[in-house]
Amino acid sequence: MSSIMFFSEFELPLKNPVVRVKVISKWKDASAIIRGETQMLMGDEKGNTVLGTIVDEIMIRNECIMFEGEWYEIHGFKLMYNFRRFRVTTNRFHVFTGENTIINNVPARTDCNYYGFKEFKTILRGLAHPMYSVDVYGAMVSVGDLEHVGAPGGPMIPKMRFSLVNPGYKHLNCVAYGRNAVEIDAYWNYTRANVVLCVLSFWQIERLQGRFTFITNIEGCSRIEFEPNIPEIIAFRFHQMLIDVLQQAFEGIMRRTSQNIINLTNLIASHFLNRLFTLWKTSNLRLLLLIRFGTGIRIAQRDKSEDRFGIVCDGDKRNSRFGNGKYGKN
């Protein structure tokens, strides 16, 4: 009996190969429908992935229809190099079923999410190869309305634009079509959360004139998960909570500081006015206090012993008499 192989051990030629795989994603493109095949992205127990093409007739013959999230053993498959222009995995091989292929359902082996997250700066700077799919996570922002677009004479398909923000506040533009667009629109309109965190897995990088423009989904293959319980999302949520706490604390400090400054200013002003009033009443020297409003008004008091004061308007230079004394020229 052949031993179980891991995807990292693939080499040509193979003799009686056996693998134990988890179906991560399955879909049918136009050519696969015609040939009666199903495309699958499969993972092993070590977290490696490989692309597989399973003939529908083989599954029917083995009475084993393969479903996403389930584990299977595949005996007697064929292995070829992957020459596709765009690849959902970095594995250089492609698994095909043959006439003697046997597929059996087996119990779950390990809990692995098979994510290979790329940093936003790596994608934005053009350092992520557009030939391979990417996995990213972040907070959804700038979510647009659900649109319906299509080529002339072709069917209309749903479309939605949105952006992801990472913990470093870098933005990544995204465009979803088909099932993923409908899924995003339904969740976005249903949830009441202020911040929606999600994971985009197996999405394609789009470029224009050598520059990054956005990432988009591959119909049937790409996945989107909202609030998954993985370490990256838990850390993001904790980071967001910490930022909110620090922001609230800072706002409280600023409010208290502003009030303290106002109180201190009032105290200084009150002390100064009280001191000035005391000097005004007790000084035997001639004091002159000049206060100007508009054309200017001068208030002056002569010697305390004379107890004379007056107000004169600078605008017309006419003297005005008040109180029991008179104010003369300066």
Write the pLDDT tens digit of every residue in 175-212: 999 999 999 999 999 998 888 999 999 999 998 887 88
Q: What whole-number distance in Å separates Cα of residue 157 and Cα of residue 328?
A: 92
Is the same domain home to 189 and 160?
yes
Is the same domain home to 172 and 218?
yes
CA dihedral 283, 288, 289, 294 (to 10 degrees): 160
Confidence label for 132 from pLDDT (cuts 50, 70 and 90): very high
What's the whole-model pTM score? Answer: 0.70
CA distances from 50 to 94, 99, 205, 255, 265 (A): 7, 20, 19, 57, 71
Confidence label for 312 from pLDDT (cuts 50, 70 and 90): very low
**What is the domain range of residue 299?**
287-320
CA-based nearest residue to 216, from 134, 138, 272: 134
184's CB contacts (< 8 A; 6+ apart) are: 140, 143, 160, 162, 176, 224
Is the same domain home to 16 and 92?
yes
- CATH code of the domain containing 153: 2.40.50.140
> Taking 50 as the threshold, does the pLDDT of residue 305 lie above it?
no
Final residue of a domain: which of 79, 106, 133?
106
Final residue of a domain: which of 44, 76, 106?
106
> Taking 80 as the threshold, does the pLDDT of residue 65 lie above it?
yes
Is the same domain home to 157 and 82?
no
Is the same domain home to 142 and 76?
no
Is the same domain home to 100 and 176?
no
Is the same domain home to 132 and 193?
yes
Is the same domain home to 102 and 187?
no
Joined tokens for residue 299: 């208030």
Range scoring the smallest mean pLDDT among 29-38, 276-285, 309-318: 309-318
Is the same domain home to 182 and 218?
yes
State how beta strands 171-177 and 211-217 pair. parallel
Q: What whole-number distance in Å separates Cα of residue 15 and Cα of residue 234?
A: 44
Residue 18 lies in a domain: yes
Burial 83-107 (b: 16+ CB within 10 A, else e): eeeebbbebebbbbbeeebebeeee
Is the same domain home to 131 and 40?
no
Residue 330 lies in a domain: no
Residue 254 lies in a domain: no
CA distances from 19 to 14, 52, 116 (A): 12, 12, 22
Is the same domain home to 174 and 97?
no
Range scoring the smallest mean pLDDT among 21-25, 69-73, 113-117, 302-306: 302-306
Residue 2 lies in a domain: no
Is the same domain home to 50 and 22?
yes
Residue 255 lies in a domain: no
Residue 163 lies in a domain: yes
Residue 112 lies in a domain: no
Q: What whole-number distance in Å separates Cα of residue 106 and Cα of residue 269?
A: 83
Q: What whole-number distance in Å separates Cα of residue 329 and Cα of residue 301?
A: 13
Q: What whole-number distance in Å separates Cα of residue 236 and Cα of residue 247?
A: 16
State how beta strands 93-96 and 49-55 pair. parallel
Higher pLDDT, 312 or 129: 129
Residue 274 lies in a domain: no
Range scoring the smallest mean pLDDT among 28-42, 131-145, 217-231: 28-42
- Number of separate domains in the chain: 3
| Amino acid sitting at position 290 | L
Mean pLDDT of the chain: 79
23's CB contacts (< 8 A; 6+ apart) are: 40, 41, 42, 66, 67, 68, 69, 70, 72
DSSP 117: B
H helices of the chain, in order, are 30-35, 56-61, 120-124, 178-190, 231-282
Final residue of a domain: which of 106, 135, 161?
106
